[in-house]
Amino acid sequence: MLAEIGYGILVVAFFVALYSVGAAVYGERTKSASLVESARRAMLLIWPLITLSAGTLIYLLITNHFEVSFVYEVTSREMPTYLKVTAWWGGQAGSLVFWSWLMSAFAALVTLRKWDRDREFLPWVIVVTSLTTAFFLGLVVFYENPFARYWQTVDGQIITSMLAPLNTVAFFPSDGRGLNPLLRHPGMIIHPPMLYLGFVSFVIPYAFAMAALITGRTDDRWIRLTRRWTLWAWLFLSFGLVLGSRWAYDVLGWGGFWGWDPVEIAALMPWLTGTAFLHSVMIQEKRGLLKQWNMILIILTYALVIFGTFLTRSGVLSSVHAFAQSAIGPAFFVFIGVTFVSSIALLIYRWPELRGETELNSLLSREALFLLNNLLFISVLVVCFWGVIFPLISELVTGQKVTVGPPFYDRATAPLFATLMLLMGVAPLSAWGHSTVKTLGRALWKSTLVALFVTTIIFFTYTKNAIALIGFFLVALVLLVTFQEFWRASRARMKAQNENFITALLTLISRNRRRYGGYIIHVSMMLMAVGILGINIFQIQTQGTLPVNGSVKLGDYTVKYESIAQFNGPDNRQVTRAVVGVYDRNGSYLGELHPRIDYYPDAQQNMTIPGERATLQDDLYVLLVDWQPASANGATFKVFVNPLVNWLWIGAFVFLFGILVAAWPEREAEYVPERSRRAHQTSAAD
């Protein structure tokens, strides 16, 4: 009964979404404000509807209704209740409902804002968001129904269907298969929602962009309206990526955090275009340039968001030739194709109106460097895209399927990322409008000298690896330039306003939050770069089978196997936990680690959880590889030392702080016509 209700509500929500699309279009065409208002109310109704349906699904999940096939697939009796709730997004059908739920929430939020200045956008924003919601609801209603149940025919066959087929009886499995143990980690519980939040919130700026194209109101109003949405979208997406990396590091047990898996790349691609978009909208706001380009970026981001949802949700990990296995694949491709082609057609239609108001004329001006930054992000995107589609192309051309692995991505993207780092060092010092080598050089030489000095010290004390040295030089340069910018501007305030340093710094940041938030983000990127350079270049590892009290040395650490125990953990997993002592170079005791293997009987699967000892200098990462109760051989361990890797996670927190500084809501400024405001700006730095 409940399953029918849940499904019925979804069907209703689907038609409400379609109605709101239709009413918005028709209302706009016939200039009927009441019809548009009706479309808006319909749209506001979708979220409560999906919430109700999702509530039903969660109830089925936590009450072990295994006759519902989705419940059977993602839960089991042994799972604790909170995991049963999060199993909502642990499988494809449920996560599509989750996606629609978030989408409708954001659509409702955006509809509740004040629209008086932007009436003409409203119907089209409704159309885009409701259409997107309707697409995902349609997938759930027609292809991936989380409420479908099991039925048994007379000859014992089991059929999955929503309504009882003829001559069948309901089939009740006694227990479910349980959530994939890999997904039971806290990182994995919040990682998908974060990623989805990022994906979904990028739909909002896209909807406004489309509204701007359709209505012909092609000034930068749509960008100003969605600036904060874009930042929040970027925050969620970035954090989703970081959480995913942390999860991989903690759970997958291969000592790394990023493997250039197609699914990771699928989540990275909209991040790349989104990051480019964040930067290039500033040029449109300041200089009236790159309007066409911004449209292209947001259209690409939207297409990649949908594509990313498809790849991350199709359940076909690590295999590029598996698109066909999912029933929803063709639907996704049609939807992406149709939205992409119609967006591009609209863009071409408005192309002449989106010409720049000024011209780029200095290669080293701030706007030219921003453009270069954009091109670099797009280049990384092209590398990623090439890597993902290369097997298909090569098969078409040569008949032989050829793929490229992580070394391809590392090699092709490293120079691009290095150039991006250099830009982070140079661009903040260049002026809008016009810069020359001379003006830039004057601003840059001190930091460059100090960075070279730091690099020399690193050369003599830490490493002679050329790539690492280039990396550390760039990190030092960007940090110095950024701190110099904070220092210079605070000093100016201290003198002009007679403030102390702290007040000056804080006022400075709060007066220009996007700019200084951005600089904080640059700093965080440098910290992350240190971590990435550390683990990628300096990681060392060893492995061995140790008797009790035996030890193995790696780097400055000695790891001693002390004891092992087996016991039952929560949710019925069988835990094999080793205790190893850690000693430093001089033999002083540093503490103990507990690498373990968890066996999940419901899923018949092991999870290898490392013992980690984190310091700013490095991470000692110990895996329990093998231990047989019967054998007297002792236990086998694999040990990694990952130098500097914790700066990656520290950087992630600084990053979060930086975005919060940039994105925290402030009162919307009074509306000043943009063109007149721009006319007052000179080409000097803002």
Using the rule CB under 8 A, is 403 a contact of other proteins?
Answer: yes
Residues 225-244 that bind other proteins (CB under 8 A): none
- Determine which residue in the list 26, 390, 462, 486 makes contact with other proteins, applying CB under 8 A: 390
In the complex, what is the shortest distance from the CB of residue 625 to other proteins, in angstroms, rounded to a whole number?
4
Burial string for 23-45 (b: 16+ CB within 10 Å, else e) reads bbbebbeeeeeebbebbbebbbb
290: left (phi over 0), alpha (psi -120 to 50) or beta: left
Q: Which is nearer to other proteins, 174 or 498 (CB)?
A: 174
572 CB contacts (<8 Å, ≥6 apart)? 78, 600, 601, 602
User: How far from the centroid of its chain's Cα atoms is residue 488's Cα?
Assistant: 34
- DSSP labels for 51-92? HHHHHHHHHHHHTT-TTBHHHHHH--TTS-HHHHHHGGGSSH
Query: Which range in 266-274, 493-501, 598-606, 666-674 contacts other proteins by CB under 8 A?
Result: 598-606
- Determine which residue in the list 130, 482, 608, 646 makes contact with other proteins, applying CB under 8 A: 608
Q: How long, in residues, is the chain?
A: 686
Residues 538-557 that bind other proteins (CB under 8 A): 543, 545
In the complex, what is the shortest distance from the CB of residue 552 to other proteins, in angstroms, rounded to a whole number?
13
Q: Which is nearer to other proteins, 382 or 565 (CB)?
A: 382
Q: Are 11 and 19 in contact (CB under 8 A)?
A: no
Quote the CA–CA distance of 198 and 192 in Å, as a whole number.
10
Using the rule CB under 8 A, is 389 a contact of other proteins?
Answer: no
Query: Which range in 2-10, 131-139, 218-226, 377-385 contacts other proteins by CB under 8 A?
Result: 377-385
Residues 349-368 that bind other proteins (CB under 8 A): 359-361, 363, 368
Residues 262-321 that bind other proteins (CB under 8 A): 315, 317-319, 321
620: left (phi over 0), alpha (psi -120 to 50) or beta: beta
Using the rule CB under 8 A, is 372 a contact of other proteins?
Answer: yes
Q: Which is nearer to other proteins, 463 or 545 (CB)?
A: 545
**598 has which bridge partners?**
575, 607
- Determine which residue in the list 22, 173, 550, 555 makes contact with other proteins, applying CB under 8 A: 173
Using the rule CB under 8 A, is 174 a contact of other proteins?
Answer: yes
Query: How many CB atoms are located within 10 Å of the residue 669 CB?
Result: 8
In the complex, what is the shortest distance from the CB of residue 593 to other proteins, in angstroms, rounded to a whole number?
16
In the complex, what is the shortest distance from the CB of residue 599 to other proteins, in angstroms, rounded to a whole number?
9
Q: Which is nearer to other proteins, 322 or 344 (CB)?
A: 322
Using the rule CB under 8 A, is 150 a contact of other proteins?
Answer: yes
Nearest residue to 360 (alpha-carbon basis) of 372, 344, 377, 348 = 372
Using the rule CB under 8 A, is 322 a contact of other proteins?
Answer: yes
In which residue are the tokens 């790159």 written? 290
Count of residues that interact with other proteins, criterion CB under 8 A = 64
Per-residue DSSP letter, 452: H
Q: Are 73 and 177 in contact (CB under 8 A)?
A: yes
In the complex, what is the shortest distance from the CB of residue 395 to other proteins, in angstroms, rounded to a whole number?
8
Burial string for 242-255 (b: 16+ CB within 10 Å, else e) reads bbbbbbbbbbbbeb
Q: Which is nearer to other proteins, 282 or 635 (CB)?
A: 635
Using the rule CB under 8 A, is 90 a contact of other proteins?
Answer: no
DSSP helix/strand/coil, 153: strand
Using the rule CB under 8 A, is 503 a contact of other proteins?
Answer: no
Q: Which is nearer to other proteins, 130 or 292 (CB)?
A: 292
Using the rule CB under 8 A, is 572 a contact of other proteins?
Answer: no
341 CB contacts (<8 Å, ≥6 apart)? none
Binding site for other proteins (CB under 8 A): 72-73, 150, 152, 158-160, 171-175, 177, 180, 253, 315, 317-319, 321-322, 324-325, 359-361, 363, 368, 372, 375-376, 379, 382-383, 386, 390-391, 400-405, 407-408, 411-412, 415-416, 543, 545, 603-608, 623, 625-626, 628, 633, 636, 638
